[in-house]
Amino acid sequence: MRSRNAIALTVALGGLAVSTAIVALPDKAEAHGAFTYPASRTYACFQDATGGSSGGALQPTNDACADALAEGGNYPFWNWFGNLISDSAGRHQQFVADGELCGPTDDFSAFNAVRADWPTTRLEPGTTVEFHHNAWAAHPGTFSTYVTEDGFDPATDALTWSDLELIDEVTNPPQRSGGVEGAEYYWDVTLPDKEGQHIIYVVWERSDSPEAFYNCSDVVFGDSTGPDPTDPPEEPTDPPEEPTDPPEEPTDPPEEPTDPPQGEYCSAEYSVVNEWSTGFQAEVEVTAGENGVDGWMADWVFANGQEVNNSWNASLVNHGAHIEAANTAHNGTLAPGESTSFGFTATHGGTNIDPEVACQES
């Protein structure tokens, strides 16, 4: 169901080592992502920093993007599609504070800077345009799209919830391959009759999980001037090299319990334990929260085309760049603070940025 009328903000914001095969699921409508048109602030800066190539060294030419890199490091650039909170469960205004809408977590906080020189996308007011939202992992959900009210000045005003008016809402929009960054969602949005520079804000709330994504797109309505983002890159065509032989599987039992993470069902820590020119071995340690766990699932998104080819001590499902790892029969039940680990081998094309791993109930 979609509505293009202004809708009240309060309504919408309301032990054993087991080796397993990697399961590749068929393409379908997917989660993890951000607007590629109009470009989200994180995506626009990623394109600016890579010269539109989606790879190589990060060398931003836009001043705002350069400052974001200096302040926040390269993680939010390589993971431009991962601006999320894993457990907001529809309570967006409780989890995302005023002034932090564009970067609600520490990893993305540099993108909250109040300034008018972020890369922008030019839009024609009063027209209907097709929005594109990059798609990574398959999950249903609703996209709520807002725009700042008249009188908002991005050069001086920190973005708050009260600055926003809802212009569009769509649930489970269509998805296609061949977008500028691979698979993408697409749907029509009727733009408001506005002038000058504004922020378009989207909340993507999954219906099968408490997770939600938050992204700002800097836009200019009409003929007002503003910095423009780079052109989208061409899609990569070179396939990864064949995987190398995996290392021997670990047999060590889980470590003794540590202090459990407070207020969390479980936590996960990712580390690379071995790396070579075309691949690597990684380990993920899962630790139960203060109430223990009975079944867990860790998931992450690779930013650099990494491909898993073998795993142990977990059951992995591959949604393209998005990987989900669930417990096996022998390590799903953990006492408070108890840890277990699983590992995998994967290939990469030369760049191998560590992903951020989330842990939740399976």
- Residue in the structure block whose two tokens are 């001590």: 313
Where is the domain boundary, 184, 200, 221?
A: 221
Domain that holds residue 278: 266-361
With residue 20 as reference, give the H or E element that holds it. Answer: strand 19-20
Residue 294 sits in the same domain as residue 205: no
Is the separation of the CB atoms in 197 and 219 below 8 Å?
A: yes
Structure tokens at 355: 């992903």
12 has a pLDDT exceeding 50: no
Q: What is the pLDDT of residue 324?
A: 85
DSSP reduced 3-state for 76: helix
Quote the pTM value.
Answer: 0.66
Residue 320 lies in a domain: yes
Residue 260 lies in a domain: no
Q: What is the pLDDT of residue 312?
A: 95
State how far the Cα of 42 lies from the Cα of 133, in Å rounded to an integer. Answer: 13
Q: What is the pLDDT of residue 262?
A: 60
Residue 167 sits in the same domain as residue 26: yes
Residue 234 lies in a domain: no
Residue 63 sits in the same domain as residue 210: yes
Residue 90 sits in the same domain as residue 209: yes
Is the separation of the CB atoms in 78 and 353 below 8 Å?
A: yes
Structure tokens at 282: 């990684």
Residue 166 sits in the same domain as residue 57: yes
Residue 75 sits in the same domain as residue 174: yes
Question: Which string of DSSP letters, residue by residue, matches 223-262?
Answer: T-----PPPPPPPP-PPPPPPPPPPPPP-PPPPPP-PPPT
Residue 169 lies in a domain: yes
Residue 188 sits in the same domain as residue 325: no
State how far the Cα of 310 lies from the Cα of 246, in Å rounded to an integer. Answer: 7
Q: What angle do CA 18, 309, 357 make, to 5 degrees?
A: 80
Provide the domain count of the chain.
Answer: 2
Residue 67 sits in the same domain as residue 186: yes
Residue 312 lies in a domain: yes
Residue 285 sits in the same domain as residue 138: no
The CATH number covering residue 293 comes to: 2.60.40.290
**pLDDT band (50, 70, 90) for residue 208:** confident
Percent of the chain with pLDDT over 90: 60
93 has a pLDDT exceeding 60: yes
Residue 271 sits in the same domain as residue 199: no
Where is the domain boundary, 221, 249, 279?
A: 221
> Which has more confidence, 52 or 196?
196
Residue 151 lies in a domain: yes
Where is the domain boundary, 190, 221, 252?
A: 221
The CATH number covering residue 106 comes to: 2.70.50.50
What pLDDT digit, counting tens, does each position of 261-313 carry? 667 899 999 999 999 999 999 999 999 999 999 999 998 888 788 999 999 99
What pLDDT digit, counting tens, does each position of 37-75 carry? 999 999 999 999 988 776 667 899 999 999 999 999 998
Residue 215 sits in the same domain as residue 289: no
Is the separation of the CB atoms in 125 and 151 below 8 Å?
A: no
Residue 245 lies in a domain: no
State how far the Cα of 56 lies from the Cα of 351, in Å rounded to an integer. Answer: 8
Q: What is the pLDDT of residue 19?
A: 44
Question: Which string of DSSP letters, residue by residue, matches 140-178?
Answer: -EEEEEEEEPTT--TTT----GGGEEEEEEEES--EEEE
